[in-house]
Chains A and B, each alone.
Chain A
Amino acid sequence: MSTMRSLTFDAIIVGGGGSGLRAALELAKSGKKTAVLSKVFPTRSHTVSAQGGITCAIGSADPEDDWRWHMYDTVKGGDYIADQDAAEYLCSEGPKAVFELEHMGLPFSRFDNGRIYQRPFGGQSKDFGKGGQAARTCAAADRTGHALLHTLYQNNLKNNTVFLDEWYAVDLVTNADGDVVGCIALCIETGEIAHVKAKATVLATGGAGRIFASTTNALINTGDGIGMALRAGFPMQDMEMWQFHPTGIYGAGCLVTEGCRGEGGYLINKDGERFMERYAPNAKDLAGRDVVARAMVMEVLEGRGCGENGDHVMLKLDHLGEEVLMKRLPGIVELSKTFAHVDPVKEPIPVTPTCHYMMGGIPTNVNGQALAQDADGNDRIINGLFACGEAACVSVHGANRLGGNSLLDLVVFGRAAGIHIEKSLNEGVDYLEASQSDVDRAMARMSRWNDSNGGESVADLRAELQSIMQNAFGVFRQEDNMQEGVTKLAELRERIGNAHLGDKSNAFNTARVEALELDNLLEVAEATAIAALERKESRGAHSRYDYPDRDDVNWLKHSLFHPSNKTVTKREVNFTPKTVDTFEPKIRTY
C-alpha cells in the first residue's frame, strides 16, 4: 500500500448529516482546514427524514416557557439516566442554536405574530410536569429535517467547506499512543483508498436502525462510526437503549411523525377505542414514546389489534380536517397515500412500533470529546476522537429520547464539538504520526474483503442479522430469547468473517460498500445484544418481561460495553448540573 495517497486536514468530519454539517460550519467559519467526508451527497443523509420538528424553549407558543422545564422533561423522558449536565447544556444552549438556524434561512412555519411555529410533542410539560401539556417543538410543516439539513448544507457552501462526497470511511487510524489520527477512506466513484490525516476526527455517522428488520431508518443507517470505534477498541455506552417509534407505517416502516398526535391525532384499536387513555390518563397519546409503543404491543397481544392478522393499530387524523392536514402535515398525507394506500383526510393510517433511534453510542462529554475508561474505571479522553449526533451518547436522551430532541442534539452538540476543536487547534495539538503498521492495521478489514474468494453473500447474512435482532431485541425482551440471540450473533460473526465480496471492481462499487457496512451492523448488533442481556431491569426503552421494574439501586447507571473482552461495566450518571438543582429520580408516569 505504498502508493496510498494522504489527504491532510486540521479536522475531518465523517458524516454529512445535521451534526456533521453543524460542526463543519463552525470550523469552516474559523478558517480551519476542514473536510466533510460522507458516503452520500450530504442532503441524502438521514436527517432529511426528520419530520415533526426541533424541540426548544424559544418562548414562541408560550412566552413564559423555560428551558429548565424542557430539561426536566428530557431527564424524566430518559428515565433518569440522561446526564444532567449534558441535558442542561442541550436545553439552555438550544435557543441560541435554533435562532442561528433561522438566521441561516431555515423556513420555519410561523404563528400570526411572525414568530416560529411550535407544536405539542410527547412528554412535554410546563412547570416541571405540573402545568399541563407544553407546545415546544419548532416546525417547518412536517419537513423540519429536510429544511434543517438543506439549510446547513447551503451555509456550508457559503462558507467554502471542503466536501468529500461519496467517500466511505473504513476504519480509524490510531498511533502508537492510542490517539486517533485520522481514518482510511474509500472514494466510491473511483475505488481509490486514501489515508485521511487529521488532528481531530469527528464521527457524525448517525444511527444504525438497519440492524433491525423493521425500521424507520434510511438504508444508509448502518452504524459505521460505531463499528469503526468498536474495532479501534473504544467502549460504547447504553447500546441496549433503542427507541421504537409508535407510528411506523405498517408493512413499510416509514415514519409518521409524532406531530400527528401533537396536532390532535390519536391511536385507536380494532374497537375504535382511544386506548392510550387507559395507559396514560394525563398525557394520553402524548406520553413518552416507549410508553406508547408498549401500550400498542399490549393492545395487539390482548387481541385488540387491527387488520386481518390483528397485528397493528390505527392512527386517526381525519377529524383534524383537510385544511389542517394539508397545512401542517402535508408530507404525512403524501407518505400515507404512497406506502399505506390510505388518504388520512378520510381514513386512519395503519401503524406499528418500529425501530427508530439509537439512544446509545460513543460516550462523549459536552465538548464532543470521545471517552474511554482507564484501568481504575475513570473517564479518559481519547485524543483526536470526537463524536456528535446520533452516533454519540452525551448522554442527553438516557433510556428514551423525547420527540424533537434529536434535531436539537445535532445542532447543539455539532456546534459544541466545532467550538471545542477550534479552541484546541488554536492551543496547538500534536500527536505522533501513524506508522506504516498503524495504517496497515486500519486496512486489514478492507483487505480481507478484497481477498475473499467464496463464502456466503452479504445480502443473506444481513437479512439473518436483522431477523435475529428483530426477534430477540424488540419492544419487549427476556433472558432466554436474548441469550439465544447473543449465541446466534457469535456464530454470525464467524460466518461474516468468511463472507464473500463477489464484485472486486473499482468504479462505484456499491457491493463493496455494503460488505463494509455489514461488518458495522454486526458490531452494533453485538454491542446491543450483550448490553441488553446485562441490564437486568426495565428502564425507558429497555423493557424486560423477566425484570419488569426499574432498579435504581443497581442500574441508575450507564452501561459500558467493552469490545476487547465483550463485557459490560457500569458508568456513573451525572446528577450535578451547573445552574439548576438536580432532578431526583421519581416514578415515571404520564
Chain B
Amino acid sequence: MSNLQVSVYRYNPETDSAPYMQEFQIDTQGRDLMVLNVLTMIKDQDSSLAFRRSCREGVCGSDGMNMNGKNGLACVTAVSEVIKDNKLVLRPLPGLPVMRDLVVDMGLFYKQYERMQPYLQNDTAAPAIERLQSPEDRDKLDGLYECILCACCSTACPSFWWNPDKFVGPAGLLQAYRFLADTRDNATQSRLAELEDPFSLFRCRGIMNCVAVCPKGLNPTRAIGKIREMLLSNAT
C-alpha cells in the first residue's frame, strides 16, 4: 500500500473561526518516509500548510508535534512507527496556544526555561585556562545537557497542561538539574530556593509521560527526583 492517508490539523487565525482536520492522500511509492518528508510533500501540494522545521535530523527541536496521539519530532519519526489503520493523524503539540496549523506559541515553555536561570553561575575568578572537571564529574551531565528544547515532554505532561504558568515542567526542571549537577556551578542554594514552593517542582506527579516521549531518550522524571532529594536533604 503506497497511498498514505494523512489527516492534518488546520487553523489559520485570519480566516478560520475554528480549527478543523484536513485529509490528504500521499503517494509514498512504498517507502517508509519520515513524517517530516510527508509534511513536505503535503506542502508541495498546499503551500499554505504551516509547520516549523530546520535541521531535519533530530537535533534542533523545531518540529515537535503530536503524531497519532504521541508527541515526537517529525524528522526522526518514521511513518511506520506511529501509523494506525494506514492513517497518519498530525496535530500540534497539546496544551500550548496554536498560532497556525502545526505551529504552537512556545512562549510559556521558554519562560519556564528562562526562570531556571539556565546558565552556569560561578562567582569565583576564572583561571587563565579552562576550569578543571574530572571525567566522572563530567559524566553527571550526560542525559541532561543534550536537551533540544523541543517541548515534546512538557506538552505531554498533565501537570504542565494545568499550570503552565506555575509548574516549571519537565524540560525546565531537567535544565535546572543540569546546572545543579555541574561541579563548576556554585548557585545551588538559589537554584533550590526557586523550586521550594508547592508548584514549581512539586506539581510533578511522576506520571512519566515526559520520559515516554523524549526524542533524545532523556529522563526528566529522574532529574526531578534528584532535585527532590536535594531539596529534602537541604531541609533537614
Contacts and interface: CB of A to CB of B under 8 A. Distances in A.
A315 to B, nearest CB: 17
A40 B54 contact: yes
Contacts of A112: 134-135
B7 interface: no
B134 A102 contact: no
Given A105-B119, A503-B48, A339 B57 contact: yes
Interface string B33-76: 00000000001100110111111111111100000000000001
B118 A58 contact: no
B119 A335 contact: no
B52 to A, nearest CB: 7
B134 A49 contact: no
Given A154-B118, A506-B14, A508-B103, A335 B131 contact: no
Closest 8 pairs between A and B when the two form their complex, measured CB to CB: A105-B120, A114-B132, A154-B119, A102-B130, A511-B47, A508-B100, A503-B48, A44-B60
A507 B149 contact: no
B61 A43 contact: yes
Given A158-B119, A219-B54, A457-B47, A108 B130 contact: yes
Nearest to A189: B99
Interface in A482-539: 502-503, 505-511, 514
Contact of B106 (A41, A48, A331, A338): A41
B13 interface: yes
A218 B55 contact: yes
B12 A43 contact: no
A112 B137 CA distance: 11
B106 to A, nearest CB: 7
Nearest to B175: A154
Interface in B167-187: 179, 182, 184-185
25 contacts: A41-B149, A43-B148, A44-B62, A46-B54, A46-B60, A48-B148, A49-B57, A99-B129, A99-B130, A102-B130, A103-B122, A105-B119, A107-B141, A108-B130, A109-B138, A116-B130, A143-B59, A146-B148, A157-B114, A218-B60, A219-B53, A219-B56, A254-B57, A338-B57, A510-B50
A338 B128 CA distance: 42
B48 A505 contact: yes
B119 A104 contact: yes
Interface in A216-275: 218-220, 252, 254-255
B29 interface: no
A459 interface: yes
B118 to A, nearest CB: 5
Residue among B55, B114, B131 with max Cβ neighbours from chain A (10 Å)? B55
Interface of A: 40-41, 43-46, 48-49, 58, 98-99, 102-105, 107-116, 140, 143, 146-147, 150-151, 154-155, 157-158, 189, 218-220, 252, 254-255, 331, 334-335, 338-339, 457-459, 502-503, 505-511, 514
Nearest to A511: B47
Given A105-B182, A508-B99, A48 B60 contact: yes
A462 B170 CA distance: 39
A507 B133 contact: no
Contacts of B128: 99
A114 B13 CA distance: 54
A143 B43 CA distance: 31
B76 A104 contact: no
Interface string B192-229: 00000000000000000000000000000000000000
B168 to A, nearest CB: 15
Interface of B: 12-15, 43-44, 47-48, 50-62, 76, 99-101, 103, 106, 110, 114, 117-120, 122, 126, 128-135, 138, 141, 145-146, 148-149, 179, 182, 184-185
Contacts of A98: 130
A40 B62 contact: yes
Contacts of A255: 57
Considering residues A103, A115, A502, which has the most beta carbons from chain B within 10 angstroms of its beta carbon? A103
Given A218-B60, A509-B48, 18 more contacts: A41-B149, A98-B130, A102-B131, A103-B126, A103-B130, A104-B119, A107-B138, A107-B182, A108-B138, A110-B133, A114-B133, A150-B145, A154-B120, A218-B55, A219-B54, A507-B14, A508-B99, A514-B47
Contacts of A158: 117, 119
A157 to B, nearest CB: 6
A508 B50 CA distance: 7
Contacts of B138: 107-110
A113 B60 contact: no
A46 B62 CA distance: 12
A40 B61 CA distance: 11
A331 B132 CA distance: 25
Given A102-B131, A103-B126, A108-B130, A146 B119 contact: no
A335 B54 CA distance: 16
A151 B126 CA distance: 17
B15 A505 contact: yes
A320 B84 CA distance: 39
Given A104-B120, A503-B48, A505-B15, A44 B106 contact: no
B235 to A, nearest CB: 28
A45 B148 CA distance: 12
Contacts of A140: 145
A507 B118 CA distance: 31
A102 B58 CA distance: 25
Contacts of B146: 143, 146
Contacts of B179: 105
B55 A44 contact: yes
A40 B15 contact: no
Contacts of B61: 43-44
A113 B141 CA distance: 18
A502 B145 CA distance: 42
A219 B118 CA distance: 28
Contacts of B53: 219
Given A99-B129, A112-B135, A459 B44 contact: yes
A40 B63 CA distance: 12
Given A99-B129, A502-B47, A157 B118 contact: yes
Given A48-B55, A459-B47, A508-B103, A103 B131 contact: yes
A350 to B, nearest CB: 16
B120, B128, B149, B179 — most chain A CB neighbours (10 Å): B120
B108 to A, nearest CB: 14
B199 to A, nearest CB: 22
Contacts of A335: 57-58
Contacts of B133: 110, 114
A62 B15 CA distance: 63
